Amino acid sequence: MHVREQSIHLSAIDTDDDFYRISGIKRMDALVESIRNIGLVNLPVLQIKAETYRIVCGFKRIRACGILGMEKIHCRVIDRSTSEIDCLKLAIADNTMASKPGILEEARAVTKLWSLCAPEGDLPGIARPLGIDVNMDLAEKYRVLCSLPERLHHLVENNVISMKIAIELGSFGEGDLLVMANLFETLRPTASQQKEILSNLRAISAVMNTRIADLLELPGICDVLVSQEVDRKLKIRILRWEIRKIRYPHIARFESRFYQNLGKLGLMQGVSLVPPRDFESTVYTFSIDFENTAELGRKTDWLKQLCESRELRSLLYREIEDT
């Protein structure tokens, strides 16, 4: 690889050619100020093209120089005989040495590297010296991630959704994808909550033969999403409940009735009653907090009395309608 340093006009650099780009576009205030005050410490690397220069390393640095109004910058220039895979390796190494790559940066690096490897090439073996530990299963997921719309890339890059959720959303139609992306970015549910919401909505959509976007327009769901009086966490809780009511009407009925009757029990402080998960069994659990045997005795005596109460029998009773 032959490299020489020279001063290049910014207008001669093809900034639209992102073949070797690994990093995303982030806020550049700090970088701009650094270059303004100190200059280019780490020179960008370019490769000669037919009539212009292709950026190998330093996309953000070159953009910052453009923001500062520079006409010429000092660069390292690689001759055109250097192979694409050698240039890409240099770009990946430059990116991983600067900072630990995010999941999307690593996905771009692996996917681009894979596209240049020979069919029999050892992708994990080529990536490892460049600071990326990857197997072929993960590489395939990375390739799918890179093929998804920019909207999902933005959410992954900002830790709103995981790669797994992004890939699942990528299988949706454009309308449903945008609606769910906006919903998750606005409400910021946890990963497990996102998984539950998606699973239930997909199942309901299939049964009702309707778009997910239309399901979110149903009265109970739409009302809470547009409400200005309900905070984010409460919106998530109500949204999950309304979706569960549609998918599991019997379970939702049991759950609603259970919590209504639970309030009538007047449980002692430090005593809680936990229903079976999804009300699929008849096994309930009492949990008792106590500091000494005397307190335990008082609470167990109270539980014995509770066993005779009409309210507890009513709470445990469930009638399942034929469907």
pLDDT at 148 over 70: yes
CA–CA dist 53, 10 (Å, integer):
9
Percent of the chain whose pLDDT exceeds 90: 66
Averaged pLDDT, 22-49:
88
* 2 & 93 share domain: yes
Helix (H) or strand (E) holding 139: helix 136-147
> Is residue 258 within 8 Å of residue 279, measured between CB atoms?
yes
* 78 & 12 share domain: yes
Could you tell me where the beta strands, DSSP code E, fall in 175-295?
271-274, 285-288
DSSP 48-109: E-SSSEEEEE-HHHHHHHHHTT-SEEEEEEE-TTS-HHHHHHHHHHHHHHHSPPPHHHHHHH
* 232 & 311 share domain: no
Could you tell me where the beta strands, DSSP code E, fall in 174-280?
271-274
The answer to whether position 125 is within a domain reads: no
pLDDT at 322 over 60: no
The answer to whether position 322 is within a domain reads: no
DSSP 4-23: EEEEEEGGGEETT--TT--S
pLDDT at 194: 96
> Is residue 208 within 8 Å of residue 215, measured between CB atoms?
yes
* 218 & 274 share domain: no
The answer to whether position 259 is within a domain reads: no
The answer to whether position 27 is within a domain reads: yes
CA dihedral 185, 107, 44, 48 (to 10 degrees): -120
CA 305 remoteness from chain centre:
49
Instruction: Using the 3D structure, point to which of 63, 98, 133 is the last residue of a domain.
Output: 98
pLDDT at 103: 92
* 2 & 90 share domain: yes
* 17 & 81 share domain: yes
pLDDT at 319: 59
The answer to whether position 141 is within a domain reads: no
pLDDT at 277: 78
Per residue in 48-92, pLDDT (tens digit) is: 888 899 999 999 999 999 999 999 999 999 988 899 999 999 999
Helix (H) or strand (E) holding 47: strand 45-48
Residue 261 burial class via C-beta count within 10 angstroms: exposed 0-12, middle 13-18, buried 19 and up: middle
* 91 & 180 share domain: no
* 242 & 272 share domain: no
Instruction: Using the 3D structure, point to which of 57, 75, 98 is the last residue of a domain.
Output: 98
The answer to whether position 323 is within a domain reads: no
323 confidence band (pLDDT: 50, 70, 90): very low
pLDDT at 318: 65
pLDDT at 321 over 50: no
User: Among the listed ranges 20-34, 78-92, 289-303, which one has the minimum average pLDDT value?
Assistant: 20-34
Long-range CB contacts (within 8 A, 24+) of 170-176:
170/144, 172/212, 173/211, 175/211, 175/213, 176/205, 176/211, 176/212, 176/213
pLDDT at 255: 79
5 pairs with which residues across the strands?
76
CATH number of residue 20's parent domain: 3.90.1530.10
Domain that includes residue 210, residue range: 150-247
Per residue in 122-147, pLDDT (tens digit) is: 899 999 999 899 999 999 999 999 99
Work out how many domains the chain is built from and give that number: 3
Across the chain, mean pLDDT equals 89
Percent of the chain whose pLDDT exceeds 70: 98
CA–CA dist 278, 301 (Å, integer):
30
* 210 & 281 share domain: no
* 234 & 155 share domain: yes
Per residue in 162-198, pLDDT (tens digit) is: 999 999 999 999 999 999 999 999 999 999 999 999 9
- CA angle (80 as vertex; 79, 86 as ends), nearest 5: 85
Instruction: Using the 3D structure, point to which of 194, 217, 247 is the last residue of a domain.
Output: 247
> Is residue 252 within 8 Å of residue 244, measured between CB atoms?
yes
The answer to whether position 203 is within a domain reads: yes
User: Among the listed ranges 129-138, 218-227, 282-291, 314-323, which one has the minimum average pLDDT value?
Assistant: 314-323
* 178 & 221 share domain: yes
The answer to whether position 135 is within a domain reads: no
45-48 and 72-78 beta bridge pairing: parallel
Q: Whole-model pTM? A: 0.74
CA–CA dist 61, 42 (Å, integer):
9
Residues in the chain: 323
* 15 & 86 share domain: yes
Residue 319 burial class via C-beta count within 10 angstroms: exposed 0-12, middle 13-18, buried 19 and up: exposed
Residue with the bigger pLDDT between 247 and 255: it is 247
